[in-house]
Structure 1
Amino acid sequence: MKGFFLPVMKARLILFIVFTSLITACNNPKAQKSVKGGAANTPASTKVIDTLPDTTISIAAVGDIMLGSSYPDSTFLPADGAKNTFKYPIENLSKADITFGNLEGVLLDTGAPVGYKLRFQHQGYLFRMPTKYGAILKDAGFNILSVGNNHSNDFDYAGRKSTIKTLDSLAITAAGFKSQPFKTFIKDGVKYGFCAFSPNGQTVSLLQIANAKSIISHLKANSDIVIVSFHGGGEGTEYEHVPDSTEIFKGENRGDLRRFTHAAVDAGADVVIGHGPHVARGIELYKKRLIAYSLGNFATYKGVSVAGVCGLAPLLKLQIDKKGEFLSGQIISYTQNHQVGIRPDTLNRAAIRIKKLTEADFTQPGLFISDSGEITPAVLN
């Protein structure tokens, strides 16, 4: 009888081991990914955040920055050399993982404007910031800047070249020129893709939506989080609202911004940040990604009107998860004028203005904004 039962017992033991292994594999997510060819087979050179625990990413974003111009003379430079520009908002700027702004103009010490812009040479509308001002941006916490806007080419190739050289030397990521449409970088174990668009010469066009989607899709395939910037829309107090159509300003096509931003998210953008109108505009959630249509002016010393609503200077703080989905946010209100610069606004006027514009322009913005500026996702029934 022993000779009969021994093989049977061995067979049962083998079956038990095989069954246990199958159960273990079915309950092991890593084993499942490997079998399905999912994240476990993603090349190590593309996305890196999948190896980390759940990650919350903080972003601080502002609109236009122009710290003063040395052209045509020092009249348009601040007396303190712009050193105190970010005295009040620096705490909110410097503590984020990513701090974004739009650099309205170039970093260049000498040089004449490009020919067709000479008609503005005596009006203070050509923006040539001294290269030493780059360190002020770095010290304030900025680590990504859009250089794609209608002042990117004020001083032709020399201005663009000097700007990139200066920002590269400070490890500030810049994008938006045709020569530098996008950049990727890794910070704290997260790989970011950043690109910027505008309708202006020598920049990556936001009017060519198919090309923009191609750039964004490429970044998404090789990055964990993709941040998109755009400079578009009409300018001034008559252009606070976001139309559902193409905007024409002084005969120039400034983009169909709803179409562009939604296409950007469809292509893989996780955060889309707008600027250009010199006034704040509404915000919305689209596919759980936040779109800010314009953050207005933030630090614009002379050359840019800061009268009325143009002087509202919102600072947008965001929390997103490792998939790029919006979690929460805060609009921190500042004001600015050309005499005293940026100051906190206890009346929360920028936040209240963006709240009203959001409610007016979007029937289903996908979020709520309180009078004090807190942003929360809308709960859908």
Structure 2
Amino acid sequence: MPNAQCPIPKISVHLWEEKIVDKLNRDDRSKQRKQKNVKAIAELLRTVLQTQDIAVKVGSKDSAIYVVLESASIPPRKKWVSYLKYTLPRLRLESSLQTVKVYGRQLGRKRAAWVEAFELARPKASDIQRSKVKQTVNFLFCLVGCSSFLIGASWNWIGDREWHSNAAIFSSNPETMSLEPETTKTKANNETPSASETNEAKNQSNNQAKGRFNLLFESLSPDSKIEPILLQPFPSANLVAIFENISDTIEASLPPASIAIKAVGDIVPGTNFPSNKLPAKPDLLFESVEPYLQGADLLFGNLECPLTLHPYSAKDISRPLVFAFRAPPSYAQVFKKIGFDVMNIANNHSSDFGSVGLKDTIAHLEKAGLKTIGQKNEIIYLTVKNVPVAWIGFSTYHYHNSVHDLENAQRLIAEAKQKAEIVVVSMQAGAEGVAAKHVRNRTEMFYGENRGNVVRFARFAIDAGADLILGHGPHITRALELYKGKLIAYSLGNFIGYRSLSTAGQLSYSLILEVELDLEGNFVSGQIIPVRLDRKGIPRIDTQYGSVDFIGNLTKSDFPQTPLIIDSQGEIAIKPQG
């Protein structure tokens, strides 16, 4: 137990010359350096996070660093990834560590709500000459580093402090990542150490301090003249304030490296026509999946149900296999509350209640703060992270932007590309049902209706300048393809079909697709968050990963040459070349 009578000592800190620290580092073994790297990162994050109710786990395996953030609510992705992207490359980490993978999840859940990976690019020598803003950032990081080290050092002087590592990254993963610091060995029976032992201990302590400060202060210029300083540990409240200042400064001074988009398929939240099949509480439709819809820059869905009070359907539902859906206008607020940004209305149900119902739907969604896409010759623009993103909705019908009219599609995409960095195309096309799960480069027919050649259109759109293709309409999930560096999702399947859409067998497979794009619109990474619809058509997170296997197998079968890898956890990556 700590000695309550022992005051916290003041510590004189010397920042050693770069060449001395380099020699010390070269004397360490690679494995020991990796362990020090992991502990330094863990200590820095824990110090910053200790009053923010976020638990952190840090570990390494092969050439990767793994960071897991857990809290009662999902940790904000943008804030923490920006912090890590700026901080970690500036620490003098073991050169064999090349990649960082960050997981954010809610406490008590096995799956991560978001995952982001990035390469651990070291700063160039020329980067040392920074602007005043970045010099301020470096100084703030130094303060955090000093505080982290000094608090730990002070605790060691007071007495041994027991650390507890968090749970493994995922409970299903048998490998755990130890973050336990090495304990200090003491003499038994209060034996007094000899003078040589005392000097050896002091030298070891100095070497450890040098190594620690080498990690935290590497970004300072080697030519800087730094005098010894006398510091006291910062209170935790000050550390949090420093971090907030760092985070704000980083976001203001650094351009974004990528944007993240989440997308889901067909949404029919119930209907009150011709009879009432609405849920008692519409919020419950999203109860299982809501946390997993958060964390992206943009969230997209395909709404296959008019939001209107108009009483007259434009369809003759007395005919076989003819369906008309209608939901209350108040559902627009439900979608907004969940976090949707863009809703596609270029589909075969948006006009179930004629032009009146369609206009009502658009008006209610836009009043709630959502953008709608799919009206003929219309392009929607949104700006995220100061990056303009264009959205265009296509279907197989002439009163929408049609997949059959390639000339008009090329014109619209070219126009969008002139005004936006990234162009996203929504595509309602393809035959329906289990028999239509495979994608072929040919025209698809459904009950005599030409549902387009989805492969031809998707690739044509990319050739014209589109960066991401989000397909829907077949009511079943389909394969993914990477074409010229751009991702094509041929069908996102059903996402909600409350008492309306079939969920038998493979029709129950669904997903939340997360895609990371760079500023050129190229695919960087992705995630299939597996979802399965219950018998009422309500989406539930699928712990069996059924849709991951289903989509993975379809991708291998339908596009064997595509350079995509989908692992058992749903992570989508590009195969290494060579």
Asked if structure 1 preserves the Cα contact closer than 8 Å seen for 2:517 and 2:525, the reply is yes
TM-score by length of 1: 0.82
Written as runs of structure 1 = structure 2, the 5 A alignment for 1:83-98 is 83-98=283-298
Written as runs of structure 1 = structure 2, the 5 A alignment for 1:115-130 is 117-120=315-318, 125-130=323-328
Moved over 4 A (4+): 120-124
Counterpart residue type for residue 250 of structure 1: Y
- Separation in 1, partners of 2:384, 2:345: 21
- Separation in 2, partners of 1:89, 1:181: 31
Asked if structure 1 preserves the Cα contact closer than 8 Å seen for 2:496 and 2:537, the reply is no
Asked if structure 1 preserves the Cα contact closer than 8 Å seen for 2:317 and 2:324, the reply is no
Change (3 A) 1:167 1:52: farther
- Separation in 2, partners of 1:346, 1:154: 36
User: Where does residue 207 of structure 1 map in the other structure?
Assistant: 404
Q: Which moved more, 1:230-239 or 1:340-349?
A: 340-349
Q: Which moved more, 1:189-198 or 1:199-208?
A: 199-208
- Separation in 1, partners of 2:254, 2:414: 23
- Separation in 1, partners of 2:531, 2:563: 25
Asked if structure 2 preserves the Cα contact closer than 8 Å seen for 1:206 and 1:255, the reply is yes
User: Where does residue 317 of structure 1 map in the other structure?
Assistant: 514
User: Where does residue 534 of structure 2 map in the other structure?
Assistant: 337
Query: What percentage of residue pairs aligned between the two structures are identical?
Result: 38
Alignment equivalent of 1:144, drawn from 331, 334, 342: 342
Q: CA deviation at 1:363?
A: 2.2
Counterpart residue type for residue 267 of structure 2: I
User: Where does residue 360 of structure 2 map in the other structure?
Assistant: 162
Larger Rg: 2
Do structure 1's residue 65 and structure 2's residue 267 form an aligned pair?
yes
C-alpha distance after superposition, 1:66-106 (max 9, x if no partner): 101111121x21122x1111112111212210101100121
Asked if structure 1 preserves the Cα contact closer than 8 Å seen for 2:310 and 2:353, the reply is no
Relative contact order (alpha carbons < 8 A, sep ≥ 6): 1 or 2 greater?
A: 1
Alignment equivalent of 1:106, drawn from 287, 306, 310: 306
Change (3 A) 1:222 1:91: same
Do structure 1's residue 56 and structure 2's residue 294 form an aligned pair?
no
- Separation in 2, partners of 1:288, 1:372: 22
Asked if structure 2 preserves the Cα contact closer than 8 Å seen for 1:127 and 1:154, the reply is yes
- Separation in 1, partners of 2:318, 2:566: 40
Counterpart residue type for residue 364 of structure 2: T
Q: CA deviation at 1:304?
A: 1.2
Written as runs of structure 1 = structure 2, the 5 A alignment for 1:270-289 is 270-289=467-486
Q: Which moved more, 1:102-111 or 1:290-299?
A: 102-111
Written as runs of structure 1 = structure 2, the 5 A alignment for 1:338-353 is 338-339=535-536, 341-353=538-550
Written as runs of structure 1 = structure 2, the 5 A alignment for 1:129-278 is 129-178=327-376, 181-200=378-397, 202-278=399-475
- Separation in 2, partners of 1:312, 1:160: 29
User: Where does residue 87 of structure 2 map in the other structure?
Assistant: none
Asked if structure 2 preserves the Cα contact closer than 8 Å seen for 1:153 and 1:202, the reply is no
- Separation in 2, partners of 1:123, 1:365: 36
Change (3 A) 1:128 1:52: farther
1:129 partner SS: coil
Do structure 1's residue 366 and structure 2's residue 563 form an aligned pair?
yes
User: Where does residue 280 of structure 2 map in the other structure?
Assistant: 79
User: Where does residue 46 of structure 1 map in the other structure?
Assistant: none
- Separation in 2, partners of 1:63, 1:120: 27
- Separation in 1, partners of 2:322, 2:497: 12
Counterpart residue type for residue 321 of structure 1: D
Counterpart residue type for residue 327 of structure 2: M
Do structure 1's residue 305 and structure 2's residue 506 form an aligned pair?
no
Change (3 A) 1:201 1:106: farther
Counterpart residue type for residue 274 of structure 1: G
Asked if structure 2 preserves the Cα contact closer than 8 Å seen for 1:124 and 1:303, the reply is no
TM-score by length of 2: 0.55
2:552 partner SS: helix
2:441 partner SS: coil
Asked if structure 2 preserves the Cα contact closer than 8 Å seen for 1:191 and 1:223, the reply is yes
- Separation in 2, partners of 1:194, 1:340: 28
Q: Which moved more, 1:146-155 or 1:338-347?
A: 338-347
Asked if structure 2 preserves the Cα contact closer than 8 Å seen for 1:235 and 1:278, the reply is yes
Change (3 A) 1:280 1:340: closer
2:316 partner SS: helix
